[in-house]
Structure 1
Amino acid sequence: MAAIPPLCDFGWKPSDARLIGVDGQARNVLDQAGENGLVVAFICNHCPYVKAVIDRIVRDAEDLADIGIGFVAISSNDVEAYPEDSFENMKLFAGAHRFSFPYLYDEDQSVALAWGAVCTPDFFGFNAQMELQYRGRLDASRKQSGPEDLRRDLYEAMRHVAETGKGPDDQIASMGCSIKWKENA
């Protein structure tokens, strides 16, 4: 069954975390921000919702970089229960899809818990002051990629954030597979 995160809690400020990336480097999540903001995407390797749109995620991350919005992806799933989401498989997934952004491993799930991440994909869009301005979908795709001419909800919202510092009032929640929590999480 699909999980749906809550809509934007405008102005919420995240806690930072230092996580290992698929390139072997430890990075602070919030240091990935551009001059106009940051998108943090909770994704994983096995989710059909992510697989359906991963090339669009990569496209939008590259286009957002052009307008000063940084991008980082985090995988938080329980890899014992879902071995396809292992760190080694994260490296393969990032390479196969030519990620131009860091893909970080939240092994103890502390970031997903602290941020209230619900599903994959779950997008958090921040302005330059690291205030949450977008918690919505990438586009209207679901388990299958929608038509090429779909409105690019995430991109358009973050373009607005880059220009004004504020996210749109009307946002449509993302939908995806629930985060796969460890029993002790």
Structure 2
Amino acid sequence: MAALPVRVLSRRSWVGLRGYVVGTRGAYISFKLDGRTAHSSLDLIKKDTGVIYRMMGIDPTKVPQNLQRFREWAVVLGDTPVTSGQHYWEVTVKRSQEFRIGAADADMSRDECIGVNTRSWVFAYSHKRWHAMLANKTIPIMNIGHPGKVGLFLDYEAGKLSLVDVEKNSLIHTIAAQFRGPVVPAFGLWDGELLTHSGLAVPEYL
């Protein structure tokens, strides 16, 4: 498979991020949520491994302003980008009826929501239904309900992001992606809370 071109990030786009995770199946991503990117309606919890939605949120004028923060959408990114290899993490969903989970370019626009552009790849849950989202196009996913925990499997070289049923140990749906630079875990939340679990080995069945 031909190598994908790598886009070079500007310094202000990557400054403050943790070291890149590179390597093979044995290099597992371990990340926390990056508070600098969190929209003002999101609070980080559990030592920055989880996020909770606040309906009123924080007064945007009280939140430190920086170019990394999402301004219009309730989105937060992980703090550890990957540039190669296979990586797996899980998400526990609590009391949420509308959320998005996936991956995004580390320097995607902070004025857009994940799933509406060609620089993010997500699985969305809303109105009791799942969809795969890319460039604002949605594909219904029929063979999953509302599990308490799901997994995400990212294969950088193969250009794939997959949703995994943790309880059934099975792959649910795969999005074909074109990763061209550093990619980070990405989360959107409009009610309830999400808790992330990283530093996990890639399951053998994947």
Q: By percentage of residues, which structure has more helix?
A: 1
Q: By percentage of residues, which structure has more strand?
A: 2
Q: What TM-score do you get using the length of structure 2 for normalisation?
A: 0.30
Comparing both chains, which one has the higher relative contact order based on Cα–Cα distances under 8 Å and sequence gaps of 6 or more?
A: 1
Q: What TM-score do you get using the length of structure 1 for normalisation?
A: 0.32
Could you say which structure has the larger radius of gyration?
2
